[in-house]
Amino acid sequence: MKTALVWFKNDLRVADNASLYNAVKNCDRVISVYCFDPKLFAKDQFGFKKTERYRAKFLLETVQDLKQNLANLNISLLSFEKSPEIALLEIVRKYNITDIYLQKEWTAEETESIKNVKDNLKTEKIDFVETYDQFLFHPNDLPFSIAALPYVFTDFRKKCERNCKVKNTVNISKLSATNKLENINDLPSLNNLGFENFETDHRSAFPYKGGETEALKRLQYYFWESKKLSYYKKTRNGLVGEDYSSKFSAWLANGSISAKTIYEQVKSYEKEVAKNDSTYWLIFELIWRDYFKYVSLKHGNNIFKLGGILNKKYNWNNNSDLIEQWINGQTKEAFVNANMLEIKQTGWMSNRGRQNVASYFAKELELDWRIGAAYFEAMLIDYDVHSNYGNWLYVAGVGNDPRDRKFNVKLQAKRYDPNQKFQNLWLQNQLF
Ligand code: FAD
């Protein structure tokens, strides 16, 4: 008898989930687990919590929804507030697990966690099945080796568009009721994870809850109900409100929705409603997301190093006053300040905002870009290791930007916030 354990990490969905699909297909019984690893909430080398309250709350909502969606398939989700190596050993012994299914990861902390689990289970004779399941274009389908990944995004995109086919999504069938476990434990609360409860700021451009159900609701709204997808290319540089861009990032980051699901829906929309520059552009952005994943797959831990993937030497400083002013929205630039107050009070910032505040941090203040990236890691609801570090490298001039540009923040503010609507939203009534 084969009993599978699906170990959920950043693939917190039941639709189009390769690990779940393979476990259900290949095993007689399926159990699943999520660990709220204390390491996720510990402090990093710069003194920031690795996960702040916004993403912690979103994660709890996500796992709650996952648990319900799995229950509908007669699969139980166990949850633990301990490190995976301890939790998984307990489960393996208690339920006679034979196979563990998980999403394949490659960045330092994630691989260390997986290695610790494997080390702890050495004597248990477990088969580990690890699958890449976070991409649009699957690594096996690339027309080049990872080592030969194009240095420039456009080359990568064109080669993939010409030669790769996005794989179809997979669906999981319901198991019999006997697969369910009795008496499974409750999820922790936000307090248990070390945070006070809080209300979402009414100005937030991202007032959404976590979970697959919410992700699909947002997709339904953004594509089919409002048809905003048809205007995405025109609005995507916006700063205020919920609809200037898709807002899929947070659900994509923790895997509540797959990039392939979004891709399939864009293709259906193009057939049933209309195909235009905007529908294509959403796919274009998903290819950027893939690109940063491949950059980190190719360059490994260099994405976390000061010299980046280019091993460039610049003069960086770590002046703590300048860092505090940036974090608290007290720099000389009102546009930077408005964006920094937005992230501080909501865990969200637009792409335009991120580019400007990161460029200001790294290029204007010449601060060690890894500190800015670590602050984003703590605060962002949609933090994704590859997208965050990839974008920071790029903006800081140690990544894949052949132009190595610096944003002119004043001009950017004039162009993208001509009536100061965004700046007023965050700076009015602000006490300095
Ligand atoms: P949309 O404009 O609707 O785009 C659709 C999807 O395409 C996004 O959800 C995202 O998955 C992907 N995408 C769009 N732009 C990018 C990009 N530049 N790089 C990678 N993927 C992209 N994105 C994250 O998901 N997590 C991060 O931690 C993160 N950190 C960033 C840090 C910096 C300094 C910068 C400049 C950008 C960062 N981004 C990050 C990329 C981008 O800002 C967000 O993905 C985007 O703003 C999310 O909003 P949206 O979902 O409405 O995007």
Distance CA 33, CA 97 (A): 12
126-174: pLDDT as tens digits: 999 999 999 999 999 999 999 999 999 999 999 999 999 999 999 999 9
187-246: pLDDT as tens digits: 999 999 999 999 999 999 999 999 999 999 999 999 999 999 999 999 999 999 999 999
| Whether residue 102 has its Cβ less than 6 Å from ligand 1 | no
The Å distance, Cα 260 to ligand 1 centre, comes to 16
The CA distances from residue 402 to 118, 129, 169, 214, in Å, are 40, 38, 35, 38
> Domains along the chain?
3-133 (3.40.50.620), 212-304 (1.25.40.80), 320-427 (1.10.579.10)
Neighbour tally for 52: CB within 10 Å = 21
CA atoms lying within 13 Å on the CB side of residue 301? 5
Q: Residue 98 is encoded by which pair of tokens?
A: 């034979």
The Å distance, Cα 391 to ligand 1 centre, comes to 9
DSSP-assigned letter for residue 32: E
| Whether residue 113 has its Cβ less than 6 Å from ligand 1 | no
The Å distance, Cα 14 to ligand 1 centre, comes to 23
Q: Where are the alpha helices (DSSP H) in 254-384?
A: 259-272, 277-299, 320-327, 334-346, 351-359, 369-379
The Å distance, Cα 52 to ligand 1 centre, comes to 19
- Looking at the DSSP assignment, which residues form a beta bridge with residue 317? 367
CA angle (388, 394, 399) in 5-degree steps: 110
| Whether residue 258 has its Cβ less than 6 Å from ligand 1 | no
pTM of the model: 0.98
- The amino acid occupying position 218 is R
Q: Is 47 helix (H, G, I), strand (E, B) or coil?
A: coil
Q: Which residues of the chain have pLDDT under 70?
A: 402, 430-432
Q: Please give the pLDDT value at position 402.
A: 66
**DSSP for 108-171, written as a single string:** HHHHHHHHHHHHHTGGG-PEEEEE--S-SS-GGG-SS-GGG--SSHHHHHHHHHHH--PPPP--
| Whether residue 51 has its Cβ less than 6 Å from ligand 1 | no
| Whether residue 393 has its Cβ less than 6 Å from ligand 1 | no
The Å distance, Cα 259 to ligand 1 centre, comes to 13
Work out which ligand 1 atom sits closest to the CA atom of 252: 11
| Whether residue 375 has its Cβ less than 6 Å from ligand 1 | no
Q: Which residues contact 126 (CB under 8 A, 6 or more apart)?
A: 92, 97, 98, 99, 100
**DSSP for 172-228, written as a single string:** PPPPPGGGSPSSPPPPPPTTTTT----PPPTT-S--PPPSHHHHHHHHIIIIIIS-G
| Whether residue 355 has its Cβ less than 6 Å from ligand 1 | yes
Distance CA 3, CA 244 (A): 46
Ligand 1, pocket-test mutation among 349, 375, 387, 395, most atoms within 8 A of CB: 387
| Whether residue 386 has its Cβ less than 6 Å from ligand 1 | no
Alpha carbon 197 to chain centroid, angstroms: 23
Ligand 1, pocket-test mutation among 206, 239, 249, most atoms within 8 A of CB: 249
Q: Please give the pLDDT value at position 183.
A: 82
Find the Cα–Cα–Cα–Cα dihedral 111, 116, 121, 122, rounded to 10°. Answer: 90
